[in-house]
Chain A
């Protein structure tokens, strides 16, 4: 198992991967179909996507397991296959990454709210443990809990991942700009509030994914760095803001546009940089080129 923290020493910047969903759909994943099931039914397609990011120059790739929690899989009647689907997700990315690149096991939100009593803390904790353990068994180096919006759920996920795997845990939140120009998650959490809570819960790396392009992510990182100068920060940014074109949603920032901004993002304090919605292996190639020369 490799250590992310060790690899980040001496100010080294690591490049992460880009979007997976879009590439899965391009390969025929239908709307309403379970993406994680493809780890079994379309293994070679998922492997090709994972490899495409390694080939583009990423130091880190994630896994096709964002919606792989028992709660999410229940929508497809697949909750009993949680272990199998997550283990396969990790194995595919491990095969693509080999031994000298990092694999982070992706865990997304449960989609249910503690606040409303839709789920108990205990159930949520156990579900995150099951998913994290399966990802570890499949060979991930660390766990990446992403797209979080609520402090309580993120803390439970971090504790579950720490306790059940002993691996390093990354946790990223999704922020939007409010009308008054502040960054908040839909649950009202600011980047500053996130920093404190995630560190206390035991995250090794914190950051933000989705919701924003590089321009706004630079401001998010600055806000994080205003209260914490040492914890490594991971950013998975969208390729700008979505625009609707002839019935299709498009993200318009090209690899060149994103690459032109990455030095500012690094200057603001980001340590691991990759893409989210709308980014492709070409975007990652352009980012890697700037960072690695």
Chain B
């Protein structure tokens, strides 16, 4: 039983999606997250136990990414494997037998069309058990405000890659704080540092997706 759960967690960490997926090389031809999750559910393993194992796998790959031991491809494949698991678990979220840890509204700020970094954050945060509301790229402030209204208690993540769109990030942080002072905001992107993030009034900064998970975990342990 628990061996099956461990294997699912490993598939997520290694990015093994299903039996036909050629990635990673050393797991070619083996069953992946997709098949093993089906088997686990058929064997009456509890969905939240499966999810827990996946969260752990995702956390491990996120940490290895932070340490530059793996890079974007490995993280993307892990997220893809996680998605394969979630497709099987979705019905249990609807019935309430599995719960998310909280809500995270995320987007790339106005004027900026870059989505790779933002998508990585979305995948890792989701893979660690949060519900992610991804507003996409070039998101103007009113759209963030509407989403915060629609998802009370959510935390917000802002992304910017361009040095030129930093100005819009600063504006968006200020406008969110003016309307929803209690909303926690984390920012990230190439032009930022912890120091600059604090200066523009954000509550957190992370250079990598796992840092966003750490930020959200800290919030939920306080809240």
Contacts and interface: CB of A to CB of B under 8 A. Distances in A.
A116 B165 contact: no
Contacts of A12: none
Interface string A90-120: 0000000000000000000001010110000
A32 B71 CA distance: 29
A249 B68 contact: no
B72 A187 contact: yes
B111 A244 contact: no
Nearest to A244: B196
B73 interface: yes
A276 B69 CA distance: 28
A6 interface: no
A277 B164 CA distance: 11
A184 B138 contact: no
Contact of A113 (B76, B170, B195, B200): B76
A242 B113 CA distance: 20
B158 to A, nearest CB: 15
B191 A115 contact: no
Interface residues of A, number: 26
B41 interface: no
A220 B198 CA distance: 32
Interface in B49-94: 67-68, 70-74, 76-77, 80
B199 interface: yes
Tell which of A116, A182, A277 has the most Cβ of chain B within 10 Å.
Answer: A116
B193 A31 contact: no
Contact of A244 (B112, B113, B116, B199): B199
A202 interface: no
Interface of A: 21, 25, 30-32, 75, 111, 113, 115-116, 149, 178-180, 182, 184-188, 242, 244, 247-249, 277
